[in-house]
Every structure is written in structure tokens, then in C-alpha cells.
Structure 1
Amino acid sequence: MSEAVGERAQVHDIGRRRAWLIWVVALAVYMLAVFHRSSLGVAGLLAADRFDVTATQLAFFTVLQLLVYAGLQVPVGVLLDRYGSRRLLIAGLVLMTAGQLAFAFSTTFATAVLSRALLGAGDAMVFVSVIRLVTVWFLVRQAPMVTQLTGVVGQMGAIVAAAPLSFLLRELGWTRAFAIASSIGVVLMVLVVMVVKDSPYQRAEVVTVKLRALAQSVRLVWGNPGTRLGMWSHFASQFSVTVFSLLWGFPFLVRGQGWTESAASTLLMAMIGWVVVSGFVLGALVARYPFYRSWIVIGVVVTMMAAWAAVLVRTTPAPTWLVVLLAFATASGGPTSMVGFDLARSFNPVQAIGRANGIVNVGGFMASLLCMALIGVVLDLRQDGGMDSYDLGDFRVAMSVQFAFWVLGIIQVLRFRRRGIAHLERVHPGAVEQMRAGTPWVHPGLGEEGV
């Protein structure tokens, strides 16, 4: 691998007005990506009728979309380190717009699946591009909170998917509703071209990775235990809220708990409000206690497990307050997963942050797609009559598969936390003591760190 580092003359202030303007535009792109990603969550029952599919096939829509998303994270990370956030945001918008427009006019299962795959490819380029902008445009004391803001405010896109999209689907129908949704990307392309700049410096640091050195480059970032600590933190905390909001939460509430569709949509919207509140709290905790970030992740995951256990052990529908508690505990996993990127930032130099964030992002979305698919398989094994035949007993069994992912995630977080601390003590003496004292540690940016 050869690295060409451009001139480092600073031409814009870091963490000031220009940085916030760039972030707002990039954040709008992320909100659109979340909207597109979440759109099937409220259109799932309509999609089952439109394409005449089973639960497994319905899950395949989102599973394939997330599989494409997760599979592209490492290549996208390499491209991000080489070409910067601006180009990848534009490419992501082009793909998402094309995918959603194709989905609007799809009438067969095959074409709809291909449309969601295209959407997943565009989505894959967005979030890590925004996080890289946060890394280079904001001060180290600002970055943890801005990272949390990115996650929680970005999830507002799911609110648009939960209520307004439901309204558009009812009033305008499938094709017109999704066609209107796809047109938003064109407006954002113009804003990205006009506003977003990759770096506050005259020339951004870029990393040219030759094809034959690609595997070695990724291995070096993967070999850093801090990268894998971030990945497993993302794995353990993110999948449940993704599974709930993107696909199975709405049917679980309506078919399993006996809620009305409007009540289920309202709860999905309320979850986003809780994401914002909990995100601010978690952002403050992460900035104040950098050494205990992994324990914060584990604490939230255990809370989710307890809430789901309290609901799933019941043989009758849970009381409303308990379902709301479950939804809010699950929603907390969204901002908690942002801690994974903050961990990767601590352990990797800025030249490798695109690849590191790509690896971290794989964790939660691989868990999401596997869990989502398993829930669909379990439902079909219990009942073969389609979505209308599932009852509370079916969902109790199917949603229990989440516990296997949580247990695996916690074990791996504890494992790589120990390795990560040992790595910092060996390679960067004083870093651990600095974080114990409550001061964020900034990677000095010296080279690529493997094991």
C-alpha cells in the first residue's frame, strides 16, 4: 500500500460554522437513507399482499438489502479512504434514488428484490461517509456527541417512514407514494455538490490502495483489537432495534400483541423520540467516561434482554406499559451502537478510519440480517398460512432467537475489551490511564496498527 498525503494547510476552522453546515447536509442524506431502509417496516403487510409472498420471502426483501449493505462495508471503507465522503454520498444518492424508484413500479417479487438490493448498495455508502466527515471536521471533544447526534437525528428518517409514508400509501397508493419518496434524493444530490467538502485542509489525506495490497490493508485494520471491539459492540446493541423497526416490530405488535395498525405506527414513532433522548444521555456518558464505553454497551444490552424476557414469557398479550418499556429499551440500542464507531476512532489513525468504520458497521447489520431471516424461518415453520395466520405463540418463539445474538455479542465485547486494553498499554503507554481519568484519548495517527 502506498500513501499520498496532501498538503496540510488548513483553510477552514474545525468544529465551527462550516463544519456544522456540512454535517447538516450529510445528515439529511443519512436521514433519507434511514427512511428508504425503514420504508418496508410499515409497508410490510402491503408488500405481502402486493407480491403474494410468505413471511420468509418478506424477510428476504430486507435481508438481501442488509446483506448487500453489510457486504459492501469494507469495500466502501477502502473507497472512502481513497475518494472521500463527498463522492460516495453522491454515488449513494444515485443508487438509492434508482432503487426506490424501481421499487415503486415493481409488480413481481424478483424485480422488487433487485430494487431493494440496489437500495442497499446506495445505503451502504452513506453512514460511514457521514462519520468520516465528523472525524475530520470536529474537535475530539465534540466528536462523541456529534457522532451520537448523527445516529439519533438520522433516525428521524424512520419517523417519516412510520407515519407520513403510511398516510401516502393509503391516500396515493404504492407506486405514487414510493415514486415521490425517490425524488427527494435528487434535491439532496444538488446540496451535497454545493456544500460538502471532504476536509478542512487544502488537500485531504487520501490513501491509495493498490488491488494487490487491499487484503493486507484490511487485515491490518481488522487485526487491531479496538476495531473488533467496536464491531462486536455494534453487533450486540444494534440488531434488535433494526429488526424491530425495519420488519418484524409492526407485525409483532399487530398480529402478536393485538394492537391496531395506527397504534403500532405511533409506537414506532415514539421509539424514535426515545432514540433522541437516550442518544443525548449516552453521548454525555461516553464523553465523560471513555474507559467504560464497553460497559455502557453491555449495560444497555442487558436491559434490552430483560425487557424482552418480561414480554416473551407471557402467554397472553403484555400490558401496554410493558410493551412501551420493551420498545424504548430496544430503541436505546440505536444510539448505543454508535459507541462502536467511537471505539474505532480511538484505536485507528484517521487514514484508516473509513476501513475501520466499515468493519464496525458490518457487525450490527450482519446480526440484523441473520436475526431477521431466522425470525421469518421460525414463523414459517410454525405456521404455513401466511402473515394472517401468526399469533402470539408464534411470535414468542420466533422473537426469542434474539437472545442467542445478545449472548454472543456480550461474550465478544468482553473478550476484545481485554485485548484492546492490553494493546493500548503495549503500543500507546499512558492512553489507558488518560481514559481512566475521564479524558478522551486521540490516536496520534502514526501508521497502520495490526497485532
Structure 2
Amino acid sequence: MSLRVQQMLGYTLLSAAFFIGFFHRFAPATFAEPIARTFDVGSTALGGLASMQFWVYTLMQIPAGVIVDRYGIRVPASVGTALVGIGAAVLALAPSFALAMCGPALVGFGMSIVFVSVMKNNAIWFTGQRFGFITGCTLLTAAMGSIASEAPAALLLRISAWQPIFLALSVLSLILAALLASFWRPPPAEDCGQLTARNKKERTKIFGTIRSVIARPQIWLIMLAISGTNGTFYAFAGLWGTPLLVHSFGFERDTAALAMTLSLVPYGLGSLFLGQISDKLRTRKAFIIAASGASTVAWVWLVSAGSATPVVAWICFVLLGLSSSQVVASFAAVKESVPDEATGTALSLVNMGVFLTTAIVQFGYGWLVASAGTGSTITGDLYRIALWLPAAISIAGLLGALKVSETFPREQHQNQPANTQMAIRGQLQPPYRDGD
């Protein structure tokens, strides 16, 4: 099998697993009502079920990064994809709500490993100048999974119960796990340069890698910025967006679901094109700041919209989806801010912050709306006023984005002196200051 075929086959299989993971991530917005009817639970329990995947996913991010940095991609990615399949089956076949909670937990566990595996695969198989583009393609695939979980899944529910849909996803995930175990291969040592040899030497320095990543202010600033855009958007695209549009902006339920679906389109397409543009312009910081600013404007606009027309709300969510596409620039900046052997750990730490934000907003927003209501009365104004929670997080993200240091694809430094190359790889003090 040629190197090109190995590269694209491994990428395709991992992207397919990523697609399924994003379907699960945003599925609660569509499947909430039939699941609630099946288990006879209320909104509070349903919110706990929806957020379970995010809590486990968040807690597993650093362990998942360490696992992939330590053991490579093939076995962890295969096991993670299998866990996603098992989790989907557990949810579909659970005889009680308590057991059903284990399903999303297993999905979150598996997807934490799949995410790191996907990003690590991109980092070792694709050059730095193409990393932004291939990450954009990956996130476009993920966005397609999100879109499939909204309006298309709602159409499936018209002809099928929700359980067969999740069982079909389970079977597909298990097949993908077997294919990954059989066909994924790393690049040969000569194509990885010093990366493969260094990884073998560094595998015993797990805690040193974690300390090195945690000690970098750049990583925390990127985490804050991406949490303000993607963490807040995911919380609403995955659960609260449709109720907000229905109760506060007068959408019909089907129209609201379609509006949320359309907001995911610029997220996917923006990820693809922003990756290409960021690679060509050799800048990450400009896109991170612009996206954080757009997200802040959209959330504040929604809070202050009052009796604005549904068109205004739709424009805001499209803007939120587009601003979330800056994740490509953020992930590229993370990769360019740490040594190669710490890429998995650094990406998992940043991603942990994003989904911790999502879990907090999903729970916190629901609590604010419910606690501000009088008895069982929850007005549309309460749904809107509680938006100050994501708005405040987005503002904090913008402040963090302003302090992010610029990074560039490493290949442009290949002809520089050895000490400069070492600085770029994170072994010496980098030649910039935070905020430059």
C-alpha cells in the first residue's frame, strides 16, 4: 500500500468516527422529547442525560492526550470508536433511565480518545503549512455530523423510533473500530523525521510533558478564547438553541430546528476556508481575535434584542456558527506553540476547556431560566436574560484572544539558525512576548 493511500485511508476512517461523534454531541436537541417520553423523565433529568457526555469528555481530555502520546493512535482510536458504539447501544437498549445515563458517558469517554487521535493523526501525517487546511476539512466533516443530527435526524424520527437509529450508529461505530485496528498505520520513520524517534524516547516522560504544557500561558489563553466562541455555541446548538428561539423569539419548533441546522453550515464551511486562508496568510492570532469579537457581538445582541424579529436571532446564530470556525486557527496555534511530542496533550487540554464550558453553560443556563421563573411559569424574557451567561464567557474569551501570541507554520523557519529552530520547537524561550 502506497504512503498516499495509507495517509488518506487513515484520515478517512478517523474522520468517519469524528462524524459519528459529532452526531452524538448535538443529538440531544433533536432526540430529547422522544427519549424523555421513553423513560418518563422531566427536563432536569433530560438535561443531566444530555450533559453527561460533555462531563466525561471533559474529564478524559488530559488522560486521552497522555494515552495517545504514550501508545500512538491505532489502538487508542480503535478502542475509543468501539466505546462510542457500545455507548449508543446501551442508550438504545437501556431498560431504565439510570442505566441509560451510562450510554452518553461511554460515548464521551470514547470520543475524548477519538478527538485526540484525529488531531494527532493530522499533526504527524500532514505538514505544518497544510495543517490548517486539513484541520478545516476535519471540522467540516464534524459539522456535517452535527447537521445530520438536527433536521435530517428529525426527518428520520418521522419514520422510525429513536432506538433503531442509535443501534444503527452503534453497528457502524463497531465496524469503524475494526477497520481502524486493521488498516491505520503511522508514517514510516523516515517521513516523520526526528518525531518518531523522539516520541519513543519521550514516552516515559508523561508527567514532564503535562507540566510543560500546563506551564505555557499561551495554551491557557487559546483555551479561554476558543471556550468563548465554541464552548458557548456548542451548548446552544446541542440543547438550548431551539427552546430559546421558540420561547423568546417566536419561532415554530420545526423552523427553530431548521435555523439551528443552518447555523452549523457556516461553522463547517468556515472551518474549511479559514484553514486555507490562515495557512496562506501565515497568521492565527488575527482570526482568533476576529472570531472572538464576532461571538461577543452576537451574544450581546441576542441579550439586548428584546422584541426583535426572528431574522435578528437567526443572523446572530449564523454569526455564532461562523465565529466558531476559528477553532481551526486555534488548534493550529496550539500545535505551533508546543514541541511535537506534546501536541496530543496540549490539544486535549484546550479541548477540555471548551467542553467544560459547554457543560457549564448547558447546566447553568437551564438553572438560571428555571430559578428565575415563578412556579412553573417561564417566560420568553427569562430565556433571553439568562443569555448573559454565555455573553460573559464570550467577553472573557475576547480578552484572552487579545493576549494570544502569534504563531506560524514551522516549515518557514527551516533555514533559520539551529537555536531559533529549537526555540520554535519549544526547547528554548520563544522569540516573542505574550500579547505581541
Relative to the length of structure 1, the TM-score reads 0.84
Counterpart-to-counterpart distance in 1, 2:95 and 2:382: 29
User: More displaced, 25-34 or 42-51?
Assistant: 42-51
1:53 CA displacement = 3.9
Q: Which residue of 1 aligns with 2:354?
A: 364
Q: Sort the Cα spacing of 1:189 and 1:384 in 2 relative to 1 into closer, same or farther, 3 A.
A: farther
Q: Which residue of 2 aligns with 1:296?
A: 287
1:243 CA displacement = 0.7
Q: Sort the Cα spacing of 1:105 and 1:385 in 2 relative to 1 into closer, same or farther, 3 A.
A: farther
Contact 1:230-1:339 at 8 Å conserved across structures:
no
Q: Which residue of 2 aligns with 1:173?
A: 161
Amino acid at match of 2:116: V
Counterpart-to-counterpart distance in 2, 1:131 and 1:377: 34
Q: Sort the Cα spacing of 1:64 and 1:20 in 2 relative to 1 into closer, same or farther, 3 A.
A: same
User: More displaced, 144-153 or 109-118?
Assistant: 109-118
Q: Sort the Cα spacing of 1:333 and 1:60 in 2 relative to 1 into closer, same or farther, 3 A.
A: farther
Partner of residue 319 from structure 1, selected from 309, 316, 322: 309
Identity of aligned residues (%): 23
1:141 CA displacement = 1.7
Q: Sort the Cα spacing of 1:397 and 1:45 in 2 relative to 1 into closer, same or farther, 3 A.
A: farther
Amino acid at match of 1:315: G
The structure with higher relative contact order (CA 8 Å, sep 6+) is 1
Q: Which residue of 1 aligns with 2:342?
A: 352
Q: Which residue of 1 aligns with 2:325?
A: 335
Q: Which residue of 1 aligns with 2:223?
A: 231
Contact 1:99-1:118 at 8 Å conserved across structures:
yes
Q: Which residue of 1 aligns with 2:208?
A: 216
**Unpaired runs of at least 5, structure 2:** 431-436
1:92 CA displacement = 1.1
Amino acid at match of 1:313: S
Q: Sort the Cα spacing of 1:354 and 1:217 in 2 relative to 1 into closer, same or farther, 3 A.
A: same
Amino acid at match of 1:300: A
Counterpart-to-counterpart distance in 2, 1:314 and 1:123: 36
Q: Which residue of 2 aligns with 1:252?
A: 244
Q: Sort the Cα spacing of 1:315 and 1:411 in 2 relative to 1 into closer, same or farther, 3 A.
A: closer
Q: Sort the Cα spacing of 1:208 and 1:46 in 2 relative to 1 into closer, same or farther, 3 A.
A: farther
Counterpart-to-counterpart distance in 2, 1:115 and 1:321: 37
Q: Which residue of 2 aligns with 1:5?
A: none
Counterpart-to-counterpart distance in 1, 2:261 and 2:292: 21
Amino acid at match of 2:305: R
Contact 1:379-1:390 at 8 Å conserved across structures:
yes
1:181 CA displacement = 2.4
Q: Deviations over 1:365-421 (max 9, x none)?
A: 1111111111011122023767xx54311211222210121122222333453xx78
Contact 1:347-1:443 at 8 Å conserved across structures:
no
SS for the counterpart of 1:197 is coil
Q: Let me know the Cα RMSD of the aligned residues.
A: 2.9
Contact 1:32-1:185 at 8 Å conserved across structures:
yes
Counterpart-to-counterpart distance in 2, 1:193 and 1:167: 34
Relative to the length of structure 2, the TM-score reads 0.86
Counterpart-to-counterpart distance in 2, 1:171 and 1:385: 37
Aligned length: 418
Counterpart-to-counterpart distance in 1, 2:105 and 2:429: 33
Partner of residue 57 from structure 1, selected from 30, 34, 45: 45
Counterparts of 1:413-432 in structure 2, within 5 Å, are 413-417=401-405
Q: Which residue of 2 aligns with 1:126?
A: 114
Counterpart-to-counterpart distance in 2, 1:266 and 1:50: 24
Q: Which residue of 2 aligns with 1:143?
A: 131
Contact 1:80-1:88 at 8 Å conserved across structures:
yes
Amino acid at match of 2:254: S
Q: Which residue of 2 aligns with 1:405?
A: 393
1:76 CA displacement = 0.7
1:78 CA displacement = 0.7
Contact 2:39-2:96 at 8 Å conserved across structures:
yes
Contact 2:295-2:394 at 8 Å conserved across structures:
no
1:322 CA displacement = 1.6
SS for the counterpart of 1:133 is helix
Contact 2:232-2:394 at 8 Å conserved across structures:
no
1:29 CA displacement = 0.8
